[in-house]
């Protein structure tokens, strides 16, 4: 992945499409030595989600995080980060703001979009709520969940055929189902689940904007 000009003079660490946890761990002592630690993620939504998941699990959400996607992604739209060199300049020169951190019941952070579908292309069967509001009961094509940059932090909607319903906002989105497949930020889980919950974590993350 090409490094934007604005980041060319900055120290970089190469890793896979989804950052290896050992690579992140090697960077943490370096960041700890800085009074205002800032980590810039150059990659796709799954890379940002992996970094934030590790920071959350290791209780390091005080680290400022900049996001530099090469092209427009769901997360770049949510957090209004721009792309490429423009995003790199923001990540370097911007100010960190507290932003709702959305995770699910597997302890994985969501930054862009989650899509929940039925098994083997079938419709999704079940019942879902956003806080106390019924999102759907019965059969739908897909349930979509996304973070928001402001409180309450989570929004969800469903697709029925080619129709998209209005987003419903809340602190948490919960689904109960005979079986579903969850795709988080482009990464599809291998196992079906009987339930799925996405909710705002007790601590925010520090997004550089």
- For residue 166, tell me if it sits in a domain: yes
pLDDT, tens digit (0-9, with 9 covering 90-100), for 101-122: 999 999 999 999 999 999 998 9
- Mean pLDDT score of the chain: 94
At residue 144, the pLDDT reads: 98
Clarify whether residues 139 and 174 are in a common domain: yes
- The tokens describing 75, both together, are 């997360």
Clarify whether residues 78 and 129 are in a common domain: no
pTM check: above 0.85: yes
Clarify whether residues 15 and 96 are in a common domain: yes
Rounded to an integer, what distance in angstroms lies between the CA atom of residue 37 and that of residue 31?
Answer: 5
Clarify whether residues 66 and 130 are in a common domain: no
Beta-strand ranges (E) seen in 49-141 are: 64-68, 96-99, 102-104, 109-110, 114-117, 124-130, 133-140
Mean pLDDT across 156-176:
91
Q: Classify residue 18 by its DSSP letter.
A: S
Clarify whether residues 77 and 133 are in a common domain: no
- For residue 209, tell me if it sits in a domain: no
Does residue 162 have a pLDDT over 90? no
Rounded to an integer, what distance in angstroms lies between the CA atom of residue 187 and that of residue 59?
Answer: 24
Domain total for the chain?
Answer: 2
pLDDT, tens digit (0-9, with 9 covering 90-100), for 42-68: 999 999 999 999 999 999 999 999 999
């Amino acid at each position: 992945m090409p490094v934007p000009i604005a980041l060319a003079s900055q120290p970089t660490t190469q890793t896979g499409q989804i950052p290896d946890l050992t690579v992140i761990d090697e960077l943490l002592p370096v960041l700890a030595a800085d009074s205002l630690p800032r980590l810039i993620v150059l990659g796709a939504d799954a890379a940002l989600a992996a970094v934030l998941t590790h920071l959350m699990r290791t209780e390091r959400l005080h680290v400022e995080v900049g996001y530099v996607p090469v092209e427009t992604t769901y997360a770049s739209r949510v957090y209004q980060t721009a792309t490429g060199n423009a995003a790199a300049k923001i990540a370097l020169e911007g100010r960190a703001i507290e932003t709702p951190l959305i995770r699910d019941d597997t302890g994985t952070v969501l930054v862009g979009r989650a899509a929940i579908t039925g098994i083997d292309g079938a419709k999704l069967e079940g019942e879902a709520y956003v806080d106390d509001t019924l999102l759907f009961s019965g059969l739908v094509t897909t349930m979509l969940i996304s973070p928001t940059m402001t409180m309450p932090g989570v929004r969800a909607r469903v697709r029925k055929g080619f129709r998209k319903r209005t987003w419903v906002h809340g602190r948490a989105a919960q689904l109960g189902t005979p079986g579903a497949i969850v795709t988080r930020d482009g990464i599809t889980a291998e196992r079906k689940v009987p339930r799925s919950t996405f909710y705002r974590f007790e601590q925010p993350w520090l997004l550089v904007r």
